[in-house]
Chains A and B, each alone.
Chain A
Amino acid sequence: MNVSAHLPVLQVVVPLFSAPLAVLFRRASVAFLLVTAASWAAFAIAIALWQQTGDGQVISYAIGNWPAPWGIEYRVDRLSAFVLMLLSGMAAIILPYSRASVEREIPSEQRYLFYALFALSLAGLLGITVTGDAFNIFVFLEISSLSSYVLIALGRNRRALTAALQYLVMGTIGATFIVIGIGLLYLVTGTLNLADMASRLGQVNDTRPVLAALSFLTVGISLKLALFPLHQWLPNAYTYAPSAVSAFLAATATKVSVYVLIRFYYTVFGASLVFERLPLPQIMLVLALAAMFAASAIAIYQDGLKKLFAYSSVAQIGYITLGLSFGSLLGLTASLVHLFNHAVTKGALFLLIGGVRAVMGRSRISHLHGLGRVMPVTSFGIVLGGLSLIGVPGTAGFISKWYLVLAAFEQGQWWLALAIVGSSLLAVVYVWRFVEVAYFREPHAEASERREAPLGLLVPAWILVLATLYFGLETSVTVGSAKAAAAMLLGLSP
C-alpha cells in the first residue's frame, strides 16, 4: 500500500482515531502522548499535502473507492492545504502546552477526556477543510462544534457552563441554517459533491431556491465565524474555556468557518453571482467595518485580558471579511494572509495568558500590576503579540495590513484605507492598557518576586511569538500560498 496516496484521508483519520484510543486507555499521560503524536502526524501530512499541491495540482481522493459524485470525495487544493497546515500546526504546538496547562486547570479524572475531545475537535476541523462533499462538511462541523462545546465547559470558572451553553445554542442555530442551505442546494442540483454542485448550478444559478440557499449558508456560517453582530457567543466562550482551548479555538475555529464561506462563495456559487449580481459585498463591507471599530472599542473597556483579546478577535475577523468583500485578487490574498497571521498571533497571546493565569491565578488587568517585573518573559511576549495586532512593521500583522491597504487603494477607496489604519490605532489603545499596567505599576506586595511561567507553558507560547516575527519578515509561505490560493479561486493563472 502506498501511504502517500492516502494522505487526504489519513489527515482526518489519524486524529479521529486517537480520540477513542485515548478514551480506552483512560490515563491522562497515555492520552496526551497519543493525541500529541496524532497532531504531529497530522501536521506532517498537511505539510506533505501542501508540497504536493504547490504546483497547482488538485488531489482528489475517493473514500472507499466510490468515485465522485456518488461517493464522498476528499479534495485538497492550494487553499485547503494552506488551511490544513495552519490547523494541524497550531494543534501540534498547543497540545504540548496543554499538558502543563491541563494539570493546573482540569481535575485529574477528566484529563483523558480533554485530550480525546481535543483530538475530535481537531479531526472535525481538518475534515471540514479536506472534504469535497457538502453534507460531509456539515457532519465534521458538528463533530468539531460538539467537542468544542464540551471543551469550553471544562473551564474552571462555573461561568464556563453558561458560555458553553450560549455557544451551543448559537452554534446549533448556525448549523441548522447551514444544513438548510445544503438541503436546498441538494434539492436544486441533486448532488452533494461540491464540484459537481458547482457545475450543475451553472444552469440554475439565479433561481429563488439557490438564492435562499446562499442566504441560509451565509447567515449560518457568519454565526460560526462570529461576524459582527453575530459574535455574542465568542467573547464568553474564549474567556471561560481552559487556556489551551481558548488558544486553539481562537486560532482555528473561526478560521475554518472563513474557509467554508470562501469555499461556498467561490467554488460552489461562483464569484460572479456573489460579488457582482448580489449586494453581498456591500453588506459584508459594512459589517466588517462595524466589527473593526465597535469590537475594538469594546475591547478597550475590558478588564479581563482574555475577554479583551476575544473582542479583538471579533475585530480582526472584521479585517478578514473586509478583504473578502473586495472580491479581488489582492483582497482575497489579504484575507487569507490575515487568516493565517491572526491565528498565529492570537494563538501566541492566549497561550501566554494561560501562563499568566497559571502563575497569578487570574488574568484581570487590574490584578496584573507590575507583571513586567514578575513575569518578564511572558509580558514581553504579550507586548510583541500586541504589536502584531496593531500591525507594527516587522510583525506578521503588518503584512496583512499592508495587503489590505493595497487592496483598498486598488478599489480606489481612499477612505477605506484610512479606516483600516484608523481602526488599528484602537488596537494601540487596548494593547497599551496592558503595557502601562504591566510596566508602570508596582507589583502587589504579596506577588512581587520574580515567578516566570513553567517552561512547558513558556516554550510553546514563545514558538508562536517567534513565528509572528518570522512571518513578518519572511512571507514566502504565507503570502505565497495565499496568493496562489486566491488566484486559483478566481480562476486566474498565478
Chain B
Amino acid sequence: MTGDALVLLALAVPVIGGVAISLSGRRPNLREAITLTTSGALFLLVAALLPAVLGGTSPEVQLLEPLAGLPIAFRVEPLGMLFALLASGLWIVNSVYSIGYMRGNKEAHQTRFYVCFALALASTIGIAFAANLLTLFLFYEALTLVTYPLVTHHGTDEAKRAGRVYLGVLIGTSVLFFLPAIAYTWHAAGTTEFRPGGILAGHVTPGIITALLALFVFGIGKAAVMPFHRWLPAAMVAPTPVSALLHAVAVVKAGVFAVVKILVYVFGLEVLTGNGDWLVAVAGFTIIAASVVALRANNLKRRLAYSTVSQLSYVVLATAVLAPLSVVGAVFHILAHALGKITLFFAAGAIYTAAHKTEVSQLDGIGRRMPWTMGAFAIGALSMIGLPPAAGFVSKWFILSGAMAEGQWLAVAVIIGSALLSAGYFLPVVHRAFFRAPSAEETAHPHGEAPLAIVIALLLTAAGTVALFFAPGLPLALARQVAGIP
C-alpha cells in the first residue's frame, strides 16, 4: 500500500470503528472486540508508515481545499510519526484497561464512551499528520468537542462544571488566541504549511514574532501552560480511562505536540533567537508552581493532574531553550511522560476500582495488597522524577545537555529543582504504600488486586517505561530528525 493510502486509512479506521461501536451497543462483548480490533488495526497502519519516515520521505495527501491555498492536507514527518505511534499504541493498552475499569465500576453509557474514544483517536491522528496550521486547528477543535462528552461522562453537576471549565478554557484560548495567530501567519507569510526551518522568516518583525509566539503558546490551551491550566485538574472528575486519554494518550500530548511543531516548523529555531527567554521563564514558573500545588494535594488524581501540568511545561521549556539537543529531549519527553503518566493514572484507577480510595492519606500499606499495581506506580514515579531505570531520565538528560550548552542556567535550575519537588510528592506515596502499616479498619475489609485487564494494562505501560530507558533508539532517531541532528 502506498503512503498516502495508509494516511487516509489511519484517519478513517477509528471513524469506521466508532460507527461500528455505536451500532453494536446492545452487545457489549462484540462492542469491546471492535474497540480492540480498531485500535490494533490503527497501530499497524501507523507502524506501516514508519519505514518510509525513517528513510527520510514524508508521505503526503491532500483531501479538500476549503479556502484557496489552505488545503486540508496531511504529511507524515518524524514528529507526527512519533505522536501517532504513541497515541495509537497507548490506545490499545488503554482499551484493555477501559474494559476492565468500565465493567468493574459498572459505568453507564459505555457505548457513548467507546464511540467518543474512537473519534478522539481519529482527531488525534489528524493532529499528528496535519500538514498545515489550518488542518491542525480543525482537528484540534474536533478533539476538544469529542472529548467533552467523556469529561462530563457522569453527567453530575460536578461533571457539568468540569465540562464548562474544560470547554471554556480550551475553546476560549483556541478561538481568542490560536485562530488569530493562524490567520495572521497566513496574512503575513501567505502559507500555513509546516516546513523545516519555518515559514515566518523574513515576513515579520521581531516584535510581531514575540506577539505571535505568545498567541500560539497561550492559544494552545491543551499544553496547559499557566495561567491556562485549570481545565486539566477540573477534568479529573471523569472516569480514569478518560484521565489517561487526557493526560497521556491524546489531549495534552496534542497540546505540547502542537507547540513543538509550531516552534520548529512555523517559526524555526533561528527566527526565535532572542525570544526563548521569556518562554523559558513562563514554562519554568509553570513547572515549579504546579509542583508546589501537587505537593499539597491529598487527592491522588489531583496530585497527578498537577504533576502533568508541570511535566508538560518541560516540553515547552525544552523547546524554548532553542538548542537542538534540548529539542530532542522535548520530543522524547512527549513519549516518556505519556508512558509514565498513563501508568500512574492506571494505578490510581486500579486503587479506586479495588479499594474505592481516592486520597493519598488512605493509602497506608496498600502495597501489600496490590503489589503489582504499586510496583508499577513506583516505576511511573521514577520516570516523573527522572531517575534511571525509567524513560524520564533520558529526556531530562537531553534537555539538561541542551540547556547547559546554551548557557540557559535558569532552565537548568528549574529542571533540577522540579526533580526534587516531584520526588517530594511521589516518593511519600510509594513509602506509604509499602512501608506503613495498614489501619485497623483496612484489615477488616480485605481486598486484592484490581480486575486482571486493569493489572495487565498497567504492567504493560510500566514495562514500556523501563524498556524505553534501555532501548530509546527508535524514538531518539525520530527526535533527531525533528531537531535536524544527523
- Distance in angstroms from B382 CB to nearest chain A CB is 40
Contact A428/B171 with A387-B145, A393-B134, A394-B138 known, Cβ cut-off 8 Å: yes
A72-80, A121-129, A162-170, A473-481: which lies at the interface: A473-481
Q: Which of B141, B180, B187 contacts A421 (CB 8 A)?
A: B180
- A418 interface residue (CB < 8 Å to B): yes
B135-176 at interface with A (beta carbon < 8 Å): 137-138, 141-142, 145, 149, 152, 155, 160, 163-164, 167-168, 171-172, 175-176
Asked if A473 and B183 sit within 8 Å, CB to CB, the answer is: no
Majority DSSP secondary structure for residues of B touching A: helix
- A422 interface residue (CB < 8 Å to B): yes
Please, which residues of chain A bring their CB within 8 A of the CB of B179?
401, 405, 421
Q: Which of B138, B152, B155, B187 contacts A393 (CB 8 A)?
A: B138
- Distance in angstroms from B19 CB to nearest chain A CB is 14
- A301 interface residue (CB < 8 Å to B): no
Contact A394/B142 with A406-B187, A409-B183 known, Cβ cut-off 8 Å: yes
- A312 interface residue (CB < 8 Å to B): no
Complex CA gap A473/B137 in Å reads: 14
Q: Which of B145, B164, B175, B180 contacts A425 (CB 8 A)?
A: B175
Complex CA gap A394/B175 in Å reads: 14
* Closest chain A residue, CB of each to CB of B148: A435
Asked if A421 and B138 sit within 8 Å, CB to CB, the answer is: no
Please, which residues of chain B bring their CB within 8 A of the CB of A138?
none
- Distance in angstroms from B65 CB to nearest chain A CB is 8
Complex CA gap A473/B184 in Å reads: 21
- Distance in angstroms from B38 CB to nearest chain A CB is 22
Size category of the B interface is 20 to 34
B66-74, B250-258, B347-355, B430-438: which lies at the interface: B66-74
Asked if B180 and A440 sit within 8 Å, CB to CB, the answer is: no
- B372 interface residue (CB < 8 Å to A): no
Please, which residues of chain A bring their CB within 8 A of the CB of B138?
393-394
Contact A391/B175 with A405-B180, A409-B184, A410-B187 known, Cβ cut-off 8 Å: yes
Asked if B67 and A475 sit within 8 Å, CB to CB, the answer is: yes
Please, which residues of chain B bring their CB within 8 A of the CB of A394?
138, 141-142
Q: Which of A405, A422, A428, A440 contacts B167 (CB 8 A)?
A: A428
Asked if A399 and B66 sit within 8 Å, CB to CB, the answer is: yes
Asked if B68 and A425 sit within 8 Å, CB to CB, the answer is: no
* Closest chain A residue, CB of each to CB of B179: A421
- B64 interface residue (CB < 8 Å to A): yes
Asked if A393 and B141 sit within 8 Å, CB to CB, the answer is: yes
Known pairs A399-B66, A402-B67 / 20 extra A-B pairs, C-beta < 8 Å: A390-B175, A391-B175, A393-B141, A393-B142, A394-B141, A406-B187, A409-B184, A417-B180, A417-B184, A418-B180, A421-B176, A421-B179, A424-B175, A425-B176, A428-B167, A428-B175, A432-B164, A473-B66, A474-B66, A475-B66
A-contacting residues of B (Cβ < 8 Å)?
A: 64, 66-68, 72, 134, 137-138, 141-142, 145, 149, 152, 155, 160, 163-164, 167-168, 171-172, 175-176, 179-180, 183-184, 186-187
- 15 A-B pairs within 8 Å (CB atoms) are namely A387-B145, A390-B171, A393-B137, A393-B141, A393-B142, A402-B67, A402-B183, A405-B180, A406-B187, A409-B183, A417-B183, A428-B167, A440-B152, A440-B155, A440-B160
